[in-house]
Amino acid sequence: MAELEGFEYGKSDFVLLDEVTMEQFMDNLKLRFEKGRIYTFIGEVVVSVNPYKQMDIYRKEEIDAYRGRELYENPPHLFAVADAAYKAMKRRAKDTCIVISGESGAGKTEASKYIMQYIAAITNPSQREEVESVKNVLLKSNCVLEAFGNAKTNRNDNSSRFGKYMDINFNFNGDPTGGHINNYLLEKSRVVQQQGGERNFHSFYQLLRGGTPDMLSRLHLQSEPEAYVYTREGASVITGSNDGSCHKAVLSALKVIGFTQEEITSIYKIISTILLLGNLEFEYDGEMVQLPAADSVRHIAELTSTDPESVSKALLFRTVATGGGEVIEKGHSQQEACFGRDAFSKALYERLFGWIVSRINGVIEVKGYNPALHGKNTVIGVLDIYGFEIFENNSFEQFCINYCNEKLQQLFIELILRQEQEEYHREGITWQHIDYFNNQIIVDLVEQNHKGIISILDEACLTVGNVTDTICLESMNNKLGQHPHFTSRKLCPTDKTMEFHRDFRIRHYAGDVTYSVEGFLDKNKDPLFQDFKRLMYNSSDPVLKDMWPDGQLSITEVTKRPLTAATLFKNSIIALVGKLACKEPYYVRCIKPNEMKSPVLFDEARCQHQVAYLGLLENVRVRRAGFAYRQPYARFLQRYKMTCEYTWPNHLMATDREAVEAIVTQHGFEEDVAYGHTKLFVRTPRSLYTLEQERAALIPILVLFLQKVWRGTLARMRCRRMRAIYTIMGCYKRCKVKGHFWEVERRFAGVRSMEDYGKSVEWPTPPAALAQFHAITQHLHRRWRARQIIKNIAPSDMPEVRAKVAALGALSGERPSWGCGRAWERDYLANARDAPQTSSNFSRAAKELKGRDQYGQVLFSGFVRMLNWFNNTKDRALLVTDKHIYKLEPKKYKVHKRIPLESVTGLSVTSGSDQMVALHTSNQDDFLIYLQRGQLCPNQDRVGELVGTLCDHFTRVRNTDLPVKVSQRSLSVYMSGKQKNVAMETKPGQVTADFRKSRGGFTLLLPAQ
C-alpha cells in the first residue's frame, strides 16, 4: 500500500475506501486534487487528474525514490507504474504495456512524456554510447511528432490529433535497444478547415513564426499566418507555447534523430506547398476553369520539383481512361477544382506525417538482433491515443476516435477481470463474479460485418450511382432502427436536438454523441485524383517520390479498389488491441477536472461523468470483490514481522507461510484472509490498515533505539553552549519586550480623554518577537476606538451609516464626491421640502403600490432623466423598494415599468461629479438614468446614496455583493439586448444634463462649468 502520505490527503488507493460508492470516490478524488495530490492508485492502476500547472514532482530526486521500489512503498505516481512495468519486463522477461486513456485535455500526452523520461533515466547506468543514442531518439521523437501531429483545440492547447503506440525494445540487461512507432488516423481534415477558436497543426505556425527571413524567402512564404487560408482561422488564437522557440527545438530534434539537411528542407517545402495551395483561387471564364495566380503555381512547382505546366494541369483537369483504353482529359468545374486542391493538400500532409514516422522507425528499429547471442528481446509498449470526443459538430473523425475508445474500454474491462481470474485460479482462491457494463454491443454496432455502421458506409461507397450522405443515413435507419444504442431524428421525431436527414446518435459508454453524416462518404472514400499521385511520383525530389509509390501506375492500369478509411482504421485498431492483449497491461486513467483549464477548479459533475464512463468504480469493486490486497509470503513477512513476538527479529518456523499465519493469528484476522500457494490474500483494507498502524507505531521505536546514542552525543556536545546562548537571548528578549510594553503604556495613557481616541498617536516599533502581538494590539485598539465612536450614534441613524460604509467600499475611492458629508433622505419624492408640488401625489401612489406589491420599505426615490424604448429622453420618477424598481410618470406617478429588484446584476457610475447611473439587469435591458437634484439642495450628489443603499440592501438581505463599476469617462450598457456605449461631453449653453443619441450609443451632454 502507498505510504508517506498523511490522512489529511485522503486515501492514496481507492481500494482503501470504507465504502465503494460514487460519493466517497468523488470526495476522495476532490480532496487529493485540492491538496495537490494528482495521482491515486486503484491497485496497480494510476488515476491521474490534470493539474493544469507545472508540478515539481518529476525531478531526479523523485526518479531515484521510485527506482526499483514496489508500488506500495511510495505515494502514487506515474513513475511508480512505469517502474512496475519495467520491473515486470526485466525480472520476468514479460512483455508489458502502459495504456494511457482519458478524454481530450486530460493530460495523456504529458503523462506519456513523463513515462518515457523515467524509463530513459533509469536505464543504461553504464552510459553505453549506442544505448544513449537510442534513448535520445526515442525522447526527441516526441517533440517531432507533437509538432506535426498535435494542434490547439478548444479543449486542449496541445491535443494529439493522431493515435500513437510506441514499442520500446530492451535487451536482457534491461537497456533499450530500439523501438517502433505506430500512428493511427491523423486528423488530416484539420489541414484545410478548423473549428472556430482552433488552430491547424503546430508545424504550420512554427514554420511561419520561427523560420528565418532567408528560409521563408526561399520557401516563398510570409511570416504572418493571417496571409494563408489554411492558417488564418488560428492566427490570432493564443496558446501556452512559443511557436518560434518550438520551431528551433523541432529542427534540433530532427537532426538528433538523424534526418539529413536535404530531408529537413524537403519537409518544410511540403509544408510551404500546402500553404500556397490553400491560397489558390479558381476562376471560370465561361468556357473552362482557369488559374489566375501564375506566380503561385510556379512557386508550387519549384517547391515540389515539378514543372508548372504539370501542376496547373493536375489542378484543372482529370485524366480518365475509357473502357476501350482511350485516355481523355476532363476539365474540372470550379467546385471540383477546389475539392481536388483541398484533397491534394490533405493527402500531402498525411503522407508527410506517415513518412516522418517511418523515417523515425528506420532509425530506432532493432538492428542485428540475434536471440541466441543477445538473449530474449522484451518490449514495453506505451499507448497515447486520442480520448473520447464530443464536440458541437461531430464528424467522421470523431466517429472513428470514439470507436477506438470503445475498443480500448472493452479491452480494459476484459484484461482486469481476466487477470483477477487467472491469479485467483493460480493461487487456488474462489472468484466472486462482478457485474459490469459490457460495451461489446456498441463495438458490434460499429464494426460488425454486414450489419455495422462501417459496413453500411463501405456498402454506400461501393454502390454505383449518386449515393449521398442522406441516402447512407436512410440505410442506417432501416438496418439499425431497432438497435438500443442507435437513433436518429427519423427514428425519434420528437428529439429536436437532431436534424432530419443529417444527424444520428450513438449511445457510447462515455455518453450520447450526435454525429453529422455530412461528409462521411467523402471522408470514408478518401478520394484523390490519380493525376496528383503521378505528379508527385514524377517529382525530382527523392523524398516526395518516396511518399507516393502508387503514382507509378499508368492511367490505363486497372488496380484493385482500395480499402475505405473506416475499414483501414478498424483493421489497425483490431491489430492494436491484439498487440495489447498479449502483453501485461498497466493503466493510467486520466481525468480532466474542468473545462476552464484552471488549476484550482474541480467540476464535480464533469469528473463524475468521466469516472463513470471509465469504469473506475467497477475497477475498485473488482479489486475488492475477492480480496483487496495480496502479497507474497516473504514480502508480507518482511514488512510486518516486527508486529509479532514469534517472528521478530527472525522466525524459527519451517516456512514463511507458517510465520505469516502466526502474525495473522496474533492479530485475529483469521476470518479476513485466505492462503494461496505463494501469496496471502487480505479481504478488507481495514485489516491491512490495522497492521500498517501497528507497524507505523513500532517503526519509530526501532528507529529511536538506533538513533538515541548518536543523538545523545550530539546533545551533550551542544548543551552547555546552547544554555549560555539561550540565557543571553532570554535576558535580551525580556528587556526588549518590557521596554516595548512600557512605551505603549506611556503613549496611550490618556487616549480615553482624546477627541480622536488615540488615532493620532504613533505606535512604537515592536521587536521582532512581538510582531504578531503588535498587530493584534493595533487591531484591538482600532476596534475599541470604533466602538467608542459608534456607541454615540443613535440607532435610527445606523441604516444611513451602513449605507455610507457600503458606498465607501463600493466606490473604492475612485469617485471623490458622493455625498458622504450630508444627511441622506433616501425617499426624496415623499419629502415635501424636496418635491413640494408632487410629494402628496407620490405618497398616495406609493401607498397603493405598497398595498398591491406588498413591499416592505422604500430604499430610494427621486426625479431622473432617462431614455425610453425609442431612445428619447424623458423626465421620470424612480422608485426603488426592497422588491421592485419602478419607472413612474413624474406628476401623477403612474407606473410605466416595473422590474424585480433581484434582476439587478450590477451598477455603473463615473468618477466625476455627474449624476449618471446605469442599473444593469439580467435580461440585458438596463436602466440608464441621470439623477435630478430637487429643491432641498440644488447641488446634492445622490449617486453615492443610491449606490450605498442598494449595496447595503444586497449585502444584508440577499447575502451577496452587488458589483459596482466606476469608469472614467464612459459607461457600457445593454439596451434591448444590444450593447451601447454612453460617453460624456460638456456643451456650452446646455442648461440641464440630457442624453443624445450618437453613432456608438449615447452621449450625456453636461452644462459647461
Residues assigned a catalytic role: 104-105, 109, 156, 159-160, 387, 389
Give the Cα separation of 839 and 847 in Å (integer). Answer: 12
Nearest to 87 by CA among 630, 644, 824, 584: 584
Residues 6 or more apart whose CB falls under 8 angstroms from that of 649 comprise 641, 642
CA distances 794 to 389, 614, 801, 957, Å, are 65, 64, 10, 22
Nearest to 743 by CA among 760, 762, 728: 762
The conformational region for residue 378 under phi > 0 = left, psi -120 to 50 = alpha, else beta, is beta
Give the Cα separation of 203 and 216 in Å (integer). Answer: 14
CA distances 112 to 81, 104, 249, 356, 1005, Å, are 12, 14, 19, 20, 63
Give the Cα separation of 347 and 349 in Å (integer). Answer: 5
Give the Cα separation of 639 and 725 in Å (integer). Answer: 44
CB 981 within 8 A of CB 910: no
CB 69 within 8 A of CB 6: no
Q: Is 995 exposed, middle or buried (0-12, 13-18, 19+ CB in 10 A)?
A: buried
Give the Cα separation of 657 and 787 in Å (integer). Answer: 75
Strand, coil or helix: 504:
strand
Nearest to 861 by CA among 853, 884, 801, 871: 884
855: cell is 413591499
Nearest to 602 by CA among 50, 24, 13, 48: 50
Give the Cα separation of 380 and 1002 in Å (integer). Answer: 68
CB-CB neighbours of 618 under 10 Å: 20
Compute CA 91 distance to the chain's CA centroid, rounded to the nearest angstrom: 38
Give me the helix-helix angle, 334-364 and 308-316, nearest 10°: 120
Give the Cα separation of 478 and 491 in Å (integer). Answer: 9
How many residues appear in the chain? Answer: 1009
Sheet holding 970-975, edge to edge: 970-975, 978-987, 1001-1007, 994-997
Nearest to 546 by CA among 362, 363, 357, 352: 352
CB 833 within 8 A of CB 884: no
- Is the Cα torsion angle 765, 770, 771, 774 positive or negative in sign? negative
Give the CA count within 13 Å in the CB-facing half-sphere of 1006: 15
Residues 6 or more apart whose CB falls under 8 angstroms from that of 29 comprise 40, 47, 49, 591, 607, 611
Give the Cα separation of 158 and 902 in Å (integer). Answer: 42
